[in-house]
Amino acid sequence: MSKLSVPVSSDDHRQGQEDAGCVLVEYGDYECPSCGQAYPIVKRIQKHFGERLSLVFRNFPLSQMHPHAEAAAETAEFAGSHDKFWEMHDLLFENQERMDDRLLVKLAGELHLAPAKLKEALEKQVFQARVRADFLGGVRSGVNGTPTFFINDQRHTGPYDFDSLVAAIEHASSAR
């Protein structure tokens, strides 16, 4: 079982308390169909565990297979620079089937972010280094596909359906 090589820090996008009983880290790609299937499952898991769970999302765009994955990850980071990472994260997954550059600009407008500023940030690749750092951290942790989950720094190697993840989280929480 592989361990998370880059510890969760204040630089991460986190939902939940730092002192939650369990930390679930997801390496994901906004254009990946499997990540799209995992998205509502993760939402249910967050609701199920409430304050006992902290969720961290890290970018792992598989750009060779998903042509808009990098731009989507940079768009999420752009939103994050305006304290709207999670709002954009959700919108990207909820509109995954329509992913293209026009959608990214439209979603920025929906969040009252300046679409022209997003376009400029994407052209200048302002957030590319952040996305790349997430990706390389994932590679060092043994991530080779998406979604990949880590529960309390240990890679989850089982299925990522609701029941399997709940059981793994409960097991990891009781082991602490």
CATH code of 13-174, in short, is 3.40.30.10
Phi, psi of 26 (to 5 degrees): -115, 125
Confidence label for 91 from pLDDT (cuts 50, 70 and 90): very high
Q: Which residues pair with 56 in a beta bridge?
A: 14, 25
Tell me the average pLDDT across 134-139: 97
pLDDT of residue 174: 83
What does the domain layout of the chain look like in residue ranges? 13-174
Cα separation, 110 vs 81, in Å, equals 16
Rounded to an integer, what is the distance from CA 166 to the centroid of its chain? Answer: 18
Tell me the average pLDDT across 57-62: 98
Cα separation, 59 vs 134, in Å, equals 5
> What letters, b where the CB count within 10 A reaches 16 and e where it falls short, cover 39-62?
bebbeebeeebeeebbbbbbbbbb
**C-alpha distances in angstroms, 143 versus 20, 50, 62?**
24, 27, 11
- The predicted model scores a pTM of 0.96
Confidence label for 1 from pLDDT (cuts 50, 70 and 90): low
